[in-house]
Amino acid sequence: MKKTLNILLLLCLATTFYAQQVIDEVVWIVGDEAILRSEVEEERLRAQYEGQQFSGDPYCIIPEQIAIQKLFLHQAELDSVEVSDNTVNHQVEMRINYYISQIGSQEKMEEYFRKSLSEIREELTTNVRNQMIIQQMQQKLTENIKSTPAEIRRYFNKLPEDSIPTIAAQVEVQILSFDPPVPKEEIDRIKERLRDFTERITSGKADFSMLARLYSEDTESAKRGGELGFVGKGQLVPEFAEVAFNLNDPKKVSRIVQSEYGFHIIQLIEKKGERINCRHILLRPRVSALDKQKAQSRLDSIADLIRSGQITFEQGVAQYSEDKNTAMNAGLMINPNTGSSKFEFQELPSEVARQIYQMNIGEISKPFTMMDESKNKEICCIVRLKSKNNVHKANLVDDYQIIRQMYEESLKTKFIKEWIAKKQKETYVFIDPKWRGCDFEYPGWVK
């Protein structure tokens, strides 16, 4: 009875008019949930901004996508699937910061979306939470889908020739690196400059956000006047977090903070529970050409020891490397996109790719400098090409894991499609007659 009353209420809302014009209208109903025309319009606007292309009519594709999401969300509610607030909030702030950086300012973002920052944040929080819950629900539904080696072989042997993927050239690379020392005079120069910024801000001669835009070497936050957006303590490096979270007066500037990224001064904007929004100015000390030359000479000597067989590359890494990400892994670089040690050339840092492009397996490069993207600072390195697979058609010997992943993904896709078709039969669905003339991906909506 309650469900029937809810559906009747939704249908009544669909006919709400004011001054002969529709304020909003219900275009779909899925179970007890309505899909409003305004939701479809907002999704279309967001997709347009993000450059998303639709393969058909967006007024057919978008409401169907929303309907499918509602099926998963309903199941997630039954199964008590949840996500943490910290994870959601982190993703929301990343998206807001991305929008601001792309559009130009908070004011322009609000004008583009025709909403205030708080409304955008609230809407994004709902959307991001739902996306994460749906992803977890899909993973839960398909978590028991596994494959055996025999099934994978049968799957691969039945693949048409034109469906067998071409695997790009892949390499495994070991790296040995250390940071050239920064002279004390350079550190003193950076600190003096930051002290000057602090004096100008506290005396009212300059605005923190203006100085951040002009001088901060954190280029992304500099576009926003140094503003980082709301973050939790665990999202910041410890040295920065300790000082930022102890600030209480938005008019004051912190002491100089040293982190792995360089030297900062920080200003509080707002605290909200366990999260903080602040702005900062980052300056990085410069390594002199002489110090880089000394570092490269040292690396040259280490490379000669390895080439002459006095030590192995792995021993060289253990004794000399200052790269904490690879020092415990025999110097082997890990692809952040896949979690494996194999890289396509375009996935490597450009400086590393240039070094190894003409190298043979086992060969060691000459010393070179490159930017460490995680720290945004120059480091000196040598690299060794551990393995290389040229461009080839996938095969079970070299590409077993890729083929296994293909097979299991096909099983999961099939399972999800069958699950959606089953839920369509079990769920009440109403579609406004004006919105039914579509070639839906799942034809079971209109009964």
What is the spatial distance between Cα 147 and Cα 282, in angstroms, rounded to a whole number?
50
Token match 């996508």: residue? 65
CA distances from 374 to 174, 216, 346, 371, 379 (A): 18, 17, 18, 9, 11
The phi and psi torsions of 160 (rounded to 5 degrees) equal: -60, 150
DSSP secondary structure code for residue 367 in this structure: P
Q: Give per-residue burial for 94-128: e unless 16+ CB within 10 Å, then b.
A: ebbbebbbebeebeebbeebeeeeeebbeebeebb
What is the spatial distance between Cα 347 and Cα 207, in angstroms, rounded to a whole number?
40
CATH number for region 168-181+288-393 = 3.10.50.40
DSSP codes, 371-419: EETTTTEEEEEEEEEEEEE-SEE--TTT-HHHHHHHHHHHHHHHHHHHH
Question: Which residues, in sequence order, are CB contacts of 118 under 8 Å at separation 6+?
Answer: none
- State which amino acid sits at residue 152: I
Supply the pLDDT for residue 195: 96
Supply the pLDDT for residue 23: 64
What is the spatial distance between Cα 43 and Cα 24, in angstroms, rounded to a whole number?
15
What is the spatial distance between Cα 85 and Cα 18, in angstroms, rounded to a whole number?
39
Residues of the chain within CATH 3.10.50.40 domain(s) are 168-181+288-393
Stretch (H or E) spanning 187: helix 184-202
Q: Are 61 and 52 in contact (CB under 8 A)?
A: no
Question: Whole-prediction pTM value?
Answer: 0.64
Supply the pLDDT for residue 389: 87
Per-residue pLDDT of the chain (447 residues; tens, 9 = 90+): 444 444 444 444 444 433 334 568 999 999 989 999 998 988 888 787 777 888 889 999 999 999 999 999 999 999 999 888 878 887 888 888 788 877 878 888 888 888 888 888 888 899 899 999 999 999 999 999 999 999 999 999 999 999 999 988 899 999 999 888 788 899 999 999 999 999 999 999 999 999 999 999 988 888 889 998 888 888 888 999 999 999 999 989 999 999 988 999 999 999 888 889 999 999 988 888 888 888 899 999 999 999 999 999 999 999 888 877 787 888 999 988 888 888 999 999 999 999 998 899 999 999 999 887 766 678 899 999 999 988 999 999 888 988 999 999 999 999 999 999 999 999 999 999 999 989 999 988 987
Token match 């978590």: residue? 143
Token match 């083929």: residue? 403
> Could you give the angle at the alpha carbon of 227 between the alpha carbons of 283 and 238, nearest 5°?
65
Supply the pLDDT for residue 234: 81
Q: Are 213 and 225 in contact (CB under 8 A)?
A: yes
Tokens representing 204 are 């009212």
DSSP secondary structure code for residue 184 in this structure: H
- State which amino acid sits at residue 407: Y
What is the spatial distance between Cα 237 and Cα 228, in angstroms, rounded to a whole number?
13
